[in-house]
Structure 1
Amino acid sequence: MKIKIKLFIPGILISSLYTSAFSQQVTRPLPKSRNAFIVIAHRGSHLIKPENTIASIMEAIALGADYVELDLRTTKDGYLVLLHNDHVDGLSNGKGLIKNLNFEAVKKLILIGRDSSLHHIASFEEALKACKGKINIYLDFKAAEVEKAYQAIKKEGMEHQVLVYVGDHSDYLSWRKTAPEMPLMSHLDHTITTKEALMEAMAKVPLEAIDNAPNETLLPVLRKMGISIFPDVQKASETVKDWKKVIKYGVQGLQTDHPEALIKYLRLAKIRVN
């Protein structure tokens, strides 16, 4: 589960902050996508292949997803790797916290797909090379050094192919300082229910994308501000009903555990042409 930044700063509501918030949005565009409606493959396409592996990334690319959501953590000796939980238990044949394991030990761990295929925990470098020029990255920044992550992105020339999800305010500040042009995404606090509160929060902590809207009355304001909304609908039992319920609000895309089925539905519904 993601930790949510509380984007609400109590105090005087200043409606003139709208212009400031809007100007922040247009200076950091999201990665370009071929499709107007975005499909984000949650942890890669992992119904068969293990999550966050190179195989799950390659399958998401083959299916035509626009983004692959990847979770970033750090080994004991400072290597960046893809892993959702803070431990390797259950996902692999190993045990322990990723932060307590050296990269050489991590590379030896085995992950087994539902088709009995064998995989390993991917390094961030491997993931970047697999995605470059093929699919955008929604980087869920779990536990890593911002400078090291950004340098890895820069090394591959992928500064315009990554959207970073930050769940911690210190990470937000660090990304803004280290990579001021990098688009950032987080979660709006449930207390933000008015236009004035939204504008004040965004003026204090500008974002380019969010994964929720606490109140549907804020949707027109968010659209006018140029903020994209990519709700999390991912679950094992996603249905067309789940997708329709969210799409009707005019969001810009969805994060899903079923990218193939979602893309098929979007094409049939004439929401997506590719």
Structure 2
Amino acid sequence: MNSKKKLALCAILMSCFCFTCFSQQVAKSLPKSKHGFIVIAHRGSHLNKPENTIAAIEEAILLGADYVELDLRTTRDGQLVLLHNDRVDQVSDGKGLIKDLDFETIKKLTLKGVDGSLHQIASFADALKTCKGRINIYLDFKAADVGLAYKEIEKAGMTDQVLVYINELKQYCSWKKIAPKMPLMFSLNKTIRTREALLAALDKMPLDAVDNIPAENLLPVIRSLGISVFLDVQKSNEMPDDWKNAINKGIQGVQTDHPKALIEYLKANKIR
């Protein structure tokens, strides 16, 4: 990392400290689930339906997933929508960057499922309405305004059903300033290898959940701090061994591209 990048990183960290919000005491518990081992449907159940659509969410609910992972982005006119990619031409019949298109234009685009069904890009408001009281949301905060996103979550009465995955430090600072009780998740730095290094990192940036374990010897420390671990096992060729290896670590759950098969596996092995 060059000196300019180091200075920029230090500035971000210092601005976070100024918010006086780095306290585990203000962090709320994660959304409640009726299952001990959490199944997170990556971008919804999207093997047949287009990812991040209302149909993919509905299918994840029908299958019995505990969370649905959704990607949040912003249109040119400031509307919040669900899309993993930054371009619509990668998933729809339209072209261009989400940030350069108005909401009305985006609503007219068509997404086609593997099963031939046709769908539209979902608004965040519609996704919240669909999930309320039915499934928790693992919100991958791609590119959006924290204040606006939290306002929609509050309006939908979903503050106790959302876990936010942040992608950069400034997002963390904004969430802690605007919604200090919202549970946050992040990836631990892969260079962390000791208990002391882990504690130092979490002292600067308290978290409620993580999606990785930098070193196996750190898992007991993470557990002792009450931090949940949701590992990513999602891939096209997920196998039972992938799930077994993750479960055997003693973690709280996984994010999967195959929620139906995983849930069947958990039931067959008396884990669900």
Name 1:17's counterpart in structure 2: none
Name 1:253's counterpart in structure 2: 253
8 Å Cα contact 1:25/1:227 also seen in 2: no
Name 1:201's counterpart in structure 2: 201
Q: In the alignment, does 2:219 pair up with 1:219?
A: yes
Instruction: Say if 1:171 and 1:23 are closer, same or farther in 2 by CA, change over 3 A.
Output: closer
8 Å Cα contact 1:25/1:226 also seen in 2: no
Displacement after TM superposition at 1:25 (Å)? 6.5
Instruction: Say if 1:47 and 1:188 are closer, same or farther in 2 by CA, change over 3 A.
Output: same
Instruction: State the identity %.
Output: 65
Instruction: Say if 1:74 and 1:196 are closer, same or farther in 2 by CA, change over 3 A.
Output: same
Name 1:61's counterpart in structure 2: 61
C-alpha distance in 2, partners of 1:151/1:194? Answer: 39
Secondary structure (helix, strand or coil) at the match of 1:230 reads: strand
Matched residue type, 1:239: M
Displacement after TM superposition at 1:90 (Å)? 2.5
Instruction: Say if 1:38 and 1:25 are closer, same or farther in 2 by CA, change over 3 A.
Output: farther
Matched residue type, 1:164: V
8 Å Cα contact 1:25/1:225 also seen in 2: no
> Which structure shows the higher helix fraction?
2
Displacement after TM superposition at 1:23 (Å)? 7.0
Name 1:4's counterpart in structure 2: none
Displacement after TM superposition at 1:245 (Å)? 1.4
Displacement after TM superposition at 1:244 (Å)? 1.1
8 Å Cα contact 1:70/1:140 also seen in 2: yes
Name 2:17's counterpart in structure 1: none
Query: Structure 1 residue runs of 4+, over 3 Å off?
Result: none
Instruction: Say if 1:49 and 1:66 are closer, same or farther in 2 by CA, change over 3 A.
Output: same
**Normalised TM-score (structure 2):** 0.91
Alignment of 1:25-64 (within 5 A): 27-64=27-64
Secondary structure (helix, strand or coil) at the match of 2:125 reads: helix
8 Å Cα contact 1:159/1:182 also seen in 2: yes
C-alpha distance in 1, partners of 2:126/2:119? Answer: 13
8 Å Cα contact 2:71/2:84 also seen in 1: yes
Name 2:130's counterpart in structure 1: 130
C-alpha distance in 2, partners of 1:106/1:143? Answer: 16
Name 1:239's counterpart in structure 2: 239
Displacement after TM superposition at 1:112 (Å)? 0.5
List gaps (5 residues or longer) in structure 1.
1-8, 11-21
Instruction: List per-residue Cα deviations over 1:141-198 (Å, max 9, x = no partner).
Output: 0000000000000001110100000011000000000000000001011111111111
Matched residue type, 2:186: S
C-alpha distance in 2, partners of 1:244/1:215? Answer: 19
Secondary structure (helix, strand or coil) at the match of 2:153 reads: helix
Displacement after TM superposition at 1:230 (Å)? 0.2
C-alpha distance in 1, partners of 2:212/2:105? Answer: 38
CA RMSD of aligned residues (A): 1.5
Report how many residues are paired. 253
Matched residue type, 2:228: S
Secondary structure (helix, strand or coil) at the match of 2:232 reads: coil
Alignment of 1:17-28 (within 5 A): 24=24, 27-28=27-28
Instruction: List per-residue Cα deviations over 1:225-267 (Å, max 9, x = no partner).
Output: 0000000100010000111111111010000000000001011
List gaps (5 residues or longer) in structure 2.
1-8, 11-21
Name 2:192's counterpart in structure 1: 192
8 Å Cα contact 2:26/2:180 also seen in 1: no
Secondary structure (helix, strand or coil) at the match of 1:157 reads: coil
Matched residue type, 1:111: L
Displacement after TM superposition at 1:27 (Å)? 3.9
C-alpha distance in 2, partners of 1:23/1:72? Answer: 26
Instruction: List per-residue Cα deviations over 1:192-236 (Å, max 9, x = no partner).
Output: 111111111111000000000011111111111000000010001
8 Å Cα contact 2:72/2:82 also seen in 1: yes
Matched residue type, 2:74: T
C-alpha distance in 2, partners of 1:25/1:268? Answer: 39
Alignment of 1:16-165 (within 5 A): 24=24, 27-165=27-165
C-alpha distance in 2, partners of 1:107/1:269? Answer: 43
**Normalised TM-score (structure 1):** 0.90
Secondary structure (helix, strand or coil) at the match of 2:163 reads: strand
C-alpha distance in 2, partners of 1:41/1:249? Answer: 20
